[in-house]
Structure 1
Amino acid sequence: MHGRRLATTEALIAVVSPESQGVLDTLESIAADRDIGLEAVDVGTDIDRVYDEDTATLGVTIGGDGTFFEGVKTFAPRGIPVLGVNTGTLSFLARVEPEDLDAALEETLSGRATVDNRQQVAVKTDGLEATGLNEVMVQHVPPQSPIDRKVTRLDVFANDEYVGEFEGTGLAVSTPTGSTGISLSANGPIHYPVNNQSIQLVPLHTHQIGVRPVVMAPSTEIRVYPVGPAILQVDGGRMYTTVAEDDEILITGAETPAHIVRTSYDDHFFTAITKKLGWDVRSEDGRPLRPDADRVRRTRFARRGRDAGSLSTSADVAHLLDEESFPPEHPIRRALEVAIEAAQSAGEPLRELHGRVESVTYKTDKTDIVTEADRQADRIITTTIATEFPDHGIFSEESGHRERSGPYTWVIDPLDGTGNFAHGNPNYAISIALAIDDTPVIGVVYVPETDELFAAVDGGEAWQNGNPLRTTSRERLDESMLLSGYDPDGSFLANFYQQTRGVRRLGSAALNLCYLASGSADAVWEYDTYPWDVAAGLVIARAAGSRVTDARGAPFAFDLETDTRKELLGSNGPLHPSLLSHLDSGVVNSASRQDG
């Protein structure tokens, strides 16, 4: 999850531990100043009465790590990100101190914080089905008599493989977040937990010196069968039960992550373990031991400290723009960074809802489906851009036109390929362009399902995930693959299917132009387009060497008129004359009627 999504927050829900009223009072004042709703509940209380699933919500915990765990248990199943404020003692997860709350929340609500997707662990057995952030522990039942057996035996399987018999006080299956607790005490490795998807099986007080911790993929199904009764605990006993001999315990990585907000006011992970756990590769005050360490770690992210203004996650821009033409302070560089961040952030709710859309409404055209995902993505993108560039105009398919006070207008299609999206097809994309005086100069197209990022700046090169793009050089139709947009009477298909190696229809104009740029197709035909359909793709296709015209060969004329649809013919260049000669009057006249 990207922090830009936090900028759309509409409400706060606080889970509050006892004796934290003073910090809650501060939070109430901050929320009132920002005109954001706030509901507070005692730790352990259900939030159903105060939670609205249609409202973009940020969870806040006020307490120690125990309160934070309860907050995660409450917020994670609902997909709510959580910010932990520390009023406890040994707080390893809740890292914002009360005196930094105002500044940390400001950074969060402006979309400049980051969000870690923390792996959770899920367990299911007779009498208990639960999810934990740290670990699941299976241990022996304490004997009633001092002379009774004090160890337990556990048969353990990973998927269909027998791992072996564990004899000792039990075992822990921990997440990367939980690797610094029980796992560390049992000589397990420390995992760097940020966006780390794994689980590890750690024997506890084993009686065999060769038994070691094992790291596994979160999809691994660990099955445990106690040889005798055992106690099952989740996250230090917050959920627990007793299991009988030979009962099956199924443990695996949870499908739902915990979304943990991190600000520049938090201690970084290794600083936290230095302070809390005595990590001895640093000095006692947490500073590096190497005298030149500051020079070594001078990257954009390591320098950020408490400077919210430098919290950028778009290192992708480095390979797109050379510093001589576009120095760090150049407005185009910053605009491209923001466009990439906004597109990637908006991709997250689209992935979450893809194929699972429950309610669908329609625009005037029945094939243009608007989903809740469409609205969420639009809100993330427009909020991000409006926050960074309040003087820029915004022209979005979903939310309409906001007038500009200068030459800059952002042209946005938050979900290009909505029909595909609603039916579970992965061919959909986010399209974001910046136009100066009605000429697109920045294009970003992001494909959430494949994590493909296409980007270009007018006059520069086009790139896909760091790799430069160029069109093909084919000149013959019979060697070429074509893409078609909306083709109402099949004219384009009829004219070109037999003459080429095929005509394909993806259902996304933005993707069509990107695949033309990447060489995955040799030409593209669009019967009619709106500005938001093609603004970003035009920049990318042209930067890769494409030729883009109307059906008669005149240069494609982009404009921001909402009621104007235009046909578009794009090619690798050498193929263009053959394409124009085969566009018979039926295709051209059909498009002309639509223009008229």
Structure 2
Amino acid sequence: MQGRRLATTDELIAIVSPDSDETLARLAEWTDERGMDLSTVDVGDDIGDVYDENRATLGVTLGGDGTFLEGIKTFSPRNIPQLGVNTGTLAFLARVEPEDLADALDETLRGRAAVDSRQQIHVDAPGVDATGINDVMIQQVPPENPIDRKVTRLDVYADEEYVGEFEGTGLAVSTPTGSTGISLSASGPVHYPVNNHTLQIVPLHTHKLGVRPIVVSPETELRIVTQGQASLLVDGGRAHTILTADDEIAVTGADQLAHVVRTSYDDHFFTAITKKLGWDVRDAEVPDEKRLENRSPTRSGTTGESTGFVERALTVATEAAQAAGEPLRELHGQVESVHHKTDKSDIVTEADHQADRIITTVVRNEFPNHNLFSEESTRQRGTDSDYTWVIDPLDGTGNFAHGNPNYSISIALIETGEPVLGVVYVPETDELFTGIADGGAWRDGDPIETTDRDALDESMLISGYDPDGTFLSHFYQESRGVRRLGSAALNLCYLASGSADAVWEHDTYPWDIAAGLVIAREAGARITDEAGEAFCFSLETDGRTALLGSNGPLHPALLEHMEDGVPALTQSEGEA
């Protein structure tokens, strides 16, 4: 989950452990001051009565790691991000101290916190169907007679391949988050948990020196067969059962990730293990000369503090687009299962609204004096700023409504009337196109450029809105084909990256093309009107504004072949 998405949080739900009254009072004061809704439940209680799935919710736990784990169990199935506040003793997961609560929440709701997507583990066995964030333990049941056998034997398979027989106290299957618990105590490796989606099998008190931990992917299907009685525990007993001989246990990575909010007021992972687990290759505090931000240059060759305004704006726009892409993907997945047109329209409207709200909130938080111009909301003016953000939160709504993946998010920054920065994000493919005027164009961080074809019969064309099919009929036989994708922003990006040699748009709106113009131009594209005159971008939407874009060398052939087609296009509009 992108941390910028948290900027649109509507309400907080807190899971509260005993002896957290003082911290809860601080939380209540903070929400009252900001006019936010706060609901509280005791540890172990369900949040169903206070949770509204139609509102953007942040989960907060007040307690130690036990309360944090209860929060994961409660919040993650509902895809709610969680911030852990430590009111316990040895807290390794809940790392915000009560005195930093207000500052940490301010940072979170400004969209400046990070969200770790933590791998969870799922187990299915006789008497247990559960998900945990730490580990699954299978171990021997202590015998009634202390002199009876105290070991267990477990047969382990990975994707139907026999791993072997584990003899000893048992074994643990842990996530990276759980690698610092039982697995570490059994000499398993510590895994850096941030966006690390692996599982590890760690033998407990093995009777063979050669048996070592094994790391597998979360897609690996582990099957564990007991040779005798065994105890199974998930996350230290939050789910528990006693197994008998020949019982089968299926363990794999859970589909649902846990979203853990991390702020600058948290101890970082290696600081936490240094302080709490005795990691002795470094001190608890990192010396200034060792800090990465003081050693690593940015892409432009300057340090983080001196990064230019445009680069900062590009970072904000990129994060806003990726944050808005998350609810679009979620809602897009619902469209195909809906059969009623009105219901589909509701989903599309909600998608537009959510994406627009995220983007405008993020931009307004970072640049409060700038103007905002979005297709989905009224124009918002700043304080005599030369900068205007032009936003299309969902370009390709027709595609979106029919389950087609060709839709995009378009964000551009305009300076005194000219586009200077563009970001186009494709949620379904996770492609990110970016461009800075006089700075270059990129796809997923790699430079892009247009093709160099100059022959029409060797070229692939893309058409935007073509009301009576004139462009299609005029060029289809003369080229390698004319495609229509249904997203003007994507059309320009595919021109920029060489997936097409030319683009035609019968009519354009500023929010459709502002970002794509920067990207295409910086990749080497030539952009004109239908007569070959330089294309003039304007925020005004009165009248038809046609656009012809090409790789450059192909432009003369396009214009020559359009001479007979353009009057037909113009006439068809006038007669209509």
TM-score (norm 2): 0.94
In 2: Cα distance, 1:570 partner to 1:360 partner: 38
Which stretch shows the higher mean deviation, 179-188 or 451-460? 451-460
> What runs of 5+ residues in structure 1 fail to find an aligned partner?
304-314
Residue identity matched to 1:105: L
Residue of structure 2 in register with 1:516 after alignment: 495
Shift of 1:494: 1.5
C-alpha contact (below 8 Å) 1:61/1:67 kept by paired residues: yes
- Aligned counterparts, 1:137-536, within 5 A: 137-283=137-283, 286-287=284-285, 294-299=288-293, 318-319=298-299, 328=306, 330-357=308-335, 370-405=348-383, 406-536=385-515
Shift of 1:584: 5.3
Cα deviation code 1:239-284 (max 9, x no counterpart): 112223222211111111111010111111011011111111124x
Cα deviation code 1:189-248 (max 9, x no counterpart): 000001111111111111222111110111111111111222211100011122232222
Q: 1:594 to 1:411 in 2, by over 3 A?
A: farther
Residue identity matched to 1:295: E
Shift of 1:395: 1.3
Shift of 1:132: 0.4
In 2: Cα distance, 1:539 partner to 1:491 partner: 28
In 1: Cα distance, 2:393 partner to 2:516 partner: 14
In 2: Cα distance, 1:535 partner to 1:122 partner: 46
Which stretch shows the higher mean deviation, 52-61 or 585-594? 585-594
> What runs of 5+ residues in structure 2 fail to find an aligned partner?
none
Residue of structure 2 in register with 1:310 after alignment: none
Q: 1:6 to 1:502 in 2, by over 3 A?
A: same
Residue of structure 2 in register with 1:104 after alignment: 104
Q: 1:93 to 1:504 in 2, by over 3 A?
A: same
In 2: Cα distance, 1:45 partner to 1:367 partner: 36
- Aligned counterparts, 1:548-559, within 5 A: 548-559=527-538
Q: CA RMSD in A?
A: 2.5
In 2: Cα distance, 1:218 partner to 1:169 partner: 24
C-alpha contact (below 8 Å) 1:486/1:527 kept by paired residues: yes
In 1: Cα distance, 2:28 partner to 2:455 partner: 68
Q: 1:226 to 1:108 in 2, by over 3 A?
A: same
Shift of 1:438: 2.6
Residue identity matched to 2:41: V
Residue of structure 1 in register with 2:73 after alignment: 73
In 2: Cα distance, 1:166 partner to 1:203 partner: 7
Q: 1:368 to 1:23 in 2, by over 3 A?
A: closer
Question: What secondary structure is seen at the aligned counterpart in 1 of 2:559?
Answer: helix
In 2: Cα distance, 1:190 partner to 1:281 partner: 14
Shift of 1:340: 1.5
C-alpha contact (below 8 Å) 2:468/2:572 kept by paired residues: no
C-alpha contact (below 8 Å) 2:345/2:401 kept by paired residues: no
Which stretch shows the higher mean deviation, 114-123 or 461-470? 461-470
Cα deviation code 1:368-401 (max 9, x no counterpart): 9824333222111110011111121211122232
Residue of structure 1 in register with 2:83 after alignment: 83
Residue of structure 2 in register with 1:309 after alignment: none
C-alpha contact (below 8 Å) 1:369/1:418 kept by paired residues: no
In 2: Cα distance, 1:32 partner to 1:137 partner: 43
Q: 1:438 to 1:33 in 2, by over 3 A?
A: same
C-alpha contact (below 8 Å) 1:119/1:195 kept by paired residues: yes
C-alpha contact (below 8 Å) 1:530/1:564 kept by paired residues: no
Shift of 1:360: 9.6
Cα deviation code 1:50-80 (max 9, x no counterpart): 0001111100000000000000111111111
Q: 1:143 to 1:371 in 2, by over 3 A?
A: farther
Residue identity matched to 1:401: R
Shift of 1:466: 2.4
Q: 1:329 to 1:218 in 2, by over 3 A?
A: closer
In 2: Cα distance, 1:338 partner to 1:485 partner: 29
Shift of 1:294: 3.3
Cα deviation code 1:328-375 (max 9, x no counterpart): 364323222211221122222233333234679989xx9998243332
- Alignment coverage as a number of residue pairs: 572
Question: What secondary structure is seen at the aligned counterpart in 2 of 1:95?
Answer: coil
Shift of 1:510: 1.0
Which stretch shows the higher mean deviation, 154-163 or 22-31? 154-163
In 2: Cα distance, 1:56 partner to 1:297 partner: 35
Question: What secondary structure is seen at the aligned counterpart in 2 of 1:299?
Answer: helix
Residue identity matched to 1:459: D
Q: 1:435 to 1:104 in 2, by over 3 A?
A: same
- Residue 20 of structure 1 pairs with residue 20 of structure 2: yes
Shift of 1:404: 3.8
TM-score (norm 1): 0.91
C-alpha contact (below 8 Å) 1:430/1:445 kept by paired residues: yes
